[in-house]
Amino acid sequence: MSTMSISQQLFHILDLYKIALTQEFRRQNIRLSPLHYKVLQLIQSLPQATPLLIAQQSGRDKAQVSRLLQDMEKQGLIEKQPHPSDKRSVCIGLTSQASQLFATADQLVAELDSQLDRSLQPDEQRQLQQLLLQLKSALGPAQS
């Protein structure tokens, strides 16, 4: 059996996490993909979330984010408002429906995270955190 590279292992773990999250969302009848959840999380956390800022923070290109935001607007998850200081841009906000959906999804994510935490001993959790920070640092500041 060949050993997987670090990148192969990271991609594999990320894929397994996304699959587990998608399955849990479906089981709870939450119609969100992991990417939709991530974008809702960014909108929730950014004071003036613009499409450009969402693209930068998510690591996605502007065109992909624009399509995703259009889809989310059609679903009634987000609303656009004029940007207070940049007339060329808009601010993105969550609708009340999306806020409720996000709160439920966020609880499911917390439960999945807790399940993952329980699979490791406290010293293993600290070691994993340290190793992940080292890998993040090795990728450079542009990847934060």
Give the domain ranges of the chain.
6-143
Read off the pLDDT of each residue in 37-51 and give the average, rounded to a whole number: 93
| Residue spans of alpha helices (H) in the chain | 6-27, 34-45, 51-58, 62-74, 96-118, 122-139
Q: Please tell me the pTM assigned to this model.
A: 0.84
| CATH topology assigned to domain 6-143 | Arc Repressor Mutant, subunit A (1.10.10)
3-state SS assignment for residue 65: helix
| Cα separation of the two ends of the chain | 34
Q: At what angle do helices 51-58 and 62-74 cross, to 10 degrees?
A: 120
Q: What is the mean pLDDT of the chain?
A: 91
Q: Which residue has the tokens 């990320």?
A: 14
Q: How far apart are CA 87 and CA 9, in angstroms?
A: 44
Banded model confidence at residue 24, pLDDT cuts 50, 70, 90: very high
* Calpha distance 3→73 (Å, rounded): 44
| Sign of the alpha-carbon torsion through 137, 118, 113, 10 | positive
pLDDT at 140: 79
Q: What is the mean pLDDT of residues 77-100?
A: 92
Distance CA 67, CA 55 (A): 11
pLDDT band at 143 (very low <50, low <70, confident <90, very high): very low
Contact call for residues 78 and 92 (beta carbons, < 8 A)? yes
